[in-house]
Structure 1
Amino acid sequence: MGASKECASGGGEAAVLEQFPVELRVLLVDDDITCLRILEQMLRRCKYEVTSCSEATVALNLLREKKGYFDIVLTDVHMPDMDGFELLELVRSEMDLPVIMISADGRSHIVKQGINNGACDYLIKPITVEQLETIWQHVIQK
């Protein structure tokens, strides 16, 4: 399964807003375990709470089980069990969550497909910490 989780201690809504975007709850999905671990570390450096999954189907089940828990989803585009576009479509139809597509595939028609299907951003690998530091803005815009 490859899921790992780091939990933050509670403190009420006022405390969360006071330190936002610290503890932003991110669901990270990528079938490339090396990339998954690197992105997970980078997101944690940004003080985000990260749950990572190496399978899109597991991620979707987690989103359904913990509806309302996650603030944002970062998903790879090309995965064997379900591609990122299908995951994006299901998340958009069932939940009101911003989804950021990530991929080494930067072909313009693939990027456009992600954005046209409702992704709030499309990040091309290798992804920088600076790019990840600003993902909280997509949550605020929602």
Structure 2
Amino acid sequence: MQRILIVDDDTRILQLVRIQLEKEGFLVAEAKDGANALSLLNKTSCDLAVVDVMMPFMDGFQLTKEIRKQYDIPIILLTAKGQIEDKEEGFLAGTDDYLVKPFEPRELSFRIHALLRRYHQENDTHIIRLGDTEINLDSYEVKIGDKTLLLPLKEFELLALLATYPQNVFTRSQLIEKVWGIDYEGDDRTVDVHVKRLRERFSSLTSAFSIKTVRGVGYYLESAE
């Protein structure tokens, strides 16, 4: 499931866009200013950012530049301005698309789908970033700083699933089904063993994330603040 970051200081816009995108099956992350957006990106993997131009402290042009320095995701700028100069500044900052307010939520949705299709065709590598940790879903590698790890397959798949949906609590049964498959004949203790191995493996290597237990339920991945 893909996650879209919406950055806008207008709560009505945040709500309008969130309702539309969640209806289409996207996960939505919200930020009300640039600093909040960068902090969120540092903790949570997002597939695309929708950024308002007119925001306090850090405008959308500057935020777009900052995102471009650190993350390889497509960006759509939202603005109440339609002048060619503003569009030029937006594209020079690194935006991929531009939408003028007021807009129809469905039009934004069309543009998001088109950008994601184009982006995934151009860049097949899918990387989940958690602070100093990168989880490469194509090469099955985990990189922490300049150190690269190759995990046993099921450990990697379990970590990747939890990291794709941080803060989302999975029951042991859900994890068994998604990682080991619906026909797996073992028991839930398999999950506990693999979580223990992941904790032992990463606790001394990074503080970017940790795997938390919800007693009697299951596990979730928590990103560091």
TM-score (norm 2): 0.50
Contact kept in structure 2, 1:24 and 1:136, CA below 8 Å: no
Aligned equivalents of 2:21, 2:83: Cα separation in 1: 25
- One of 78, 83, 89 as aligned partner of 1:107: 83
1:56 aligned residue: 34
* Identity across matched positions, percent: 32
1:73 aligned residue: 49
2:61 aligned residue: 85
The CA deviation at 1:55 is 1.7
Give unmatched runs, 5+ long, in structure 1.
Answer: 1-22
Aligned equivalents of 2:109, 2:51: Cα separation in 1: 16
What do residues 57-111 of structure 1 show as CA deviations (whole Å, max 9, x unaligned)? 1111111122xx1000001001002111111001111110111000111122111
Contact kept in structure 2, 1:31 and 1:79, CA below 8 Å: yes
Aligned length: 118
Structure with greater contact order relative to length (CA < 8 Å, sep ≥ 6): 1
- One of 6, 16, 19 as aligned partner of 1:41: 19
Greater Rg over alpha carbons, structure: 2
Relative to its length, the structure with more strand (as a share) is 2
Q: Which is further off, 125-134 or 90-99?
A: 125-134
Contact kept in structure 2, 1:46 and 1:132, CA below 8 Å: no
Give unmatched runs, 5+ long, in structure 2.
Answer: 120-225
| Correspondence 1:116 to 2:56 | no
| Correspondence 1:138 to 2:131 | no
Aligned equivalents of 1:136, 1:64: Cα separation in 2: 24
